[in-house]
A = this chain, B = another copy of it.
Amino acid sequence: MYTIITISREFGSGGRTIAKKVAEALNIPVYDNELLTQIAKESGMSETFVERKADGTSLSNLVARSLSGLGGYAQLTVEDYLWQMQRKVILELASKGPCIIVGRCADYILKDKFDCLRVFIYADEEKRAQRILHEYDEKDDMPIEKRIKEKDKRRSAFYNYHTDMVWGMPHNYHMCLDSGKLGFKKCVEMICNGYTM
């Protein structure tokens, strides 16, 4: 029996970077944008479109209706269709062997189906703002505090809608780590420690 690590994270907390370092340390694959690419290929939509949708942004009802007949999910909206695709891909990836999956409600999707170590990475807003401004190569006119709130709101809404649970509540996870206080290195060590139970 092997274990899948799922990592949920607040925007700017470094969850994705930490996931990659854990993957390197444990020598197992990590899926994030790679996963999105695969979803895009399966669903036959453009990667950019899926990337936006997977973050929980909404299309107009018109577009949603026009696309909702794709792939046999005639009664579903585009959101529902993408959720089904996403779920399928995550289950397939997990069935291949130990790996790390970042975001996309993987913790919920794999629950009771695979042995999972569920991790939530967060940090205070100040630390996240510093990191986003320093690390991310994104141009945006929106003030950083507003961007953090918007992104977290979207992730939270996406998670809460699909899981009927509340994003970021400790009982959904096995470890919640403040990457701002602990630092990335300690977070990686702790996840690796928790993994080899």
Contacts and interface: CB of A to CB of B under 8 A. Distances in A.
Interface in A134-192: 168-171, 173-178, 181-183, 186, 189-190
Contacts of A189: 193
A197 interface: yes
A177 B69 CA distance: 44
Interface string A120-143: 101010000000000000000000
* Tally of this chain's copies: 2
A175 to B, nearest CB: 6
Interface residues of A, number: 23
A194 interface: yes
A122 to B, nearest CB: 6
Most buried by B among A124, A176, A177, A193: A176
Contacts of A193: 186, 189-190, 193
Interface of A: 117, 120, 122, 124, 168-171, 173-178, 181-183, 186, 189-190, 193-194, 197
27 contacts: A117-B181, A120-B170, A120-B176, A122-B170, A122-B171, A124-B171, A169-B170, A170-B170, A170-B176, A170-B178, A171-B178, A173-B178, A174-B177, A174-B181, A175-B175, A175-B176, A175-B177, A175-B182, A175-B190, A182-B194, A183-B197, A186-B193, A186-B197, A189-B193, A190-B190, A190-B193, A190-B194
